[in-house]
Amino acid sequence: MMHPFYFRITVVCLAGSLLCSSCAVLTDSQVKNINVFATTTKAYCGFPSAVVKQYADLDQTLAIMKAADVRDFQHVQNQLNRARSGFQDKMSSAANFDLSLQMIQKYGALLAKLSCDDPANNLRDPSEDLGENLDNAVALFNQKTGSHLNASLGSDLSKLILLVGQRLTRRAQTVALKQFIEEVDPVIAAATANIEDVMNNGVKELWRQDSADFENFARVMLEHELAAGGAPGISLNRFEAARWYYDQLTVYRDADALRAQVVQAAVSLRNAHAALLADIHQKKQLKELVAETKQFITDVQPLGPLLSHYIKLP
Amino acid sequence: MNTETLNALKQVNGQINQLHDELRDPSLPQGEIGPIEDAIDALEAMRDILIHEALQSMVDQLNQTNARLQAVLTRMQGVSDRLDRISAAIRKVSDVISALVQITQKAMSAGLLG
Highest mean pLDDT among A72-81, A122-131, A133-142, A153-162: A72-81
Which of B1, B69, B95 comes nearest A184 by C-beta?
A: B69
Percent of chain A surpassing pLDDT 70? 77
pLDDT tens per residue across span A258-293: 898 888 888 888 888 888 888 777 654 434 544 544
Question: What ipTM describes this predicted complex?
Answer: 0.81
Residue of B nearest to A192 (CA): B62
Residue A174 to residue A183: CA distance in whole angstroms? 14
A210-241, pLDDT tens digit by residue? Answer: 999 999 999 999 888 888 777 778 888 889 98
Ramachandran assignment for A233, one of left (phi > 0), alpha (psi -120 to 50 degrees), beta (any other) = left
Amino acid at A190: A
pLDDT of residue A55: 94
Q: Say if residue A311's pLDDT is above 70.
A: no
Distance (Å) from the C-alpha of residue A63 to the closest C-alpha of chain B? 9
Mean local confidence (pLDDT), A43-63: 89
In this structure, chain A runs to a length of 314
Do B114 and A141 count as a contact with CB atoms less than 8 A apart?
yes
Note whether A111 and A146 are within 8 A (CB): no
Lowest model confidence (mean pLDDT) among A18-32, A104-118, A190-204, A257-271: A18-32
CA-wise closest residue to A34 among A100, A107, A99, A101: A107
pLDDT tens digits, one per residue of B9-23 = 999 999 999 999 999
CB neighbour burial string for A101-116, b if at least 16 within 10 angstroms, e if fewer: bbbbbbbbbbbbbbbe
Q: Return the H-helix or E-strand segment holding A91.
A: helix A73-96
Min Cα separation A286/chain B (Å): 30
Per-residue b or e along A168-199, where b marks 16 or more CB atoms closer than 10 Å to that residue's CB = bbbbbbbebbbebbeebbebbeebbebbbbbb
pLDDT in tens, B83-101: 888 778 777 777 777 777 7
Q: If you measure CA to CA, which chain B residue comes closest to A1?
A: B104
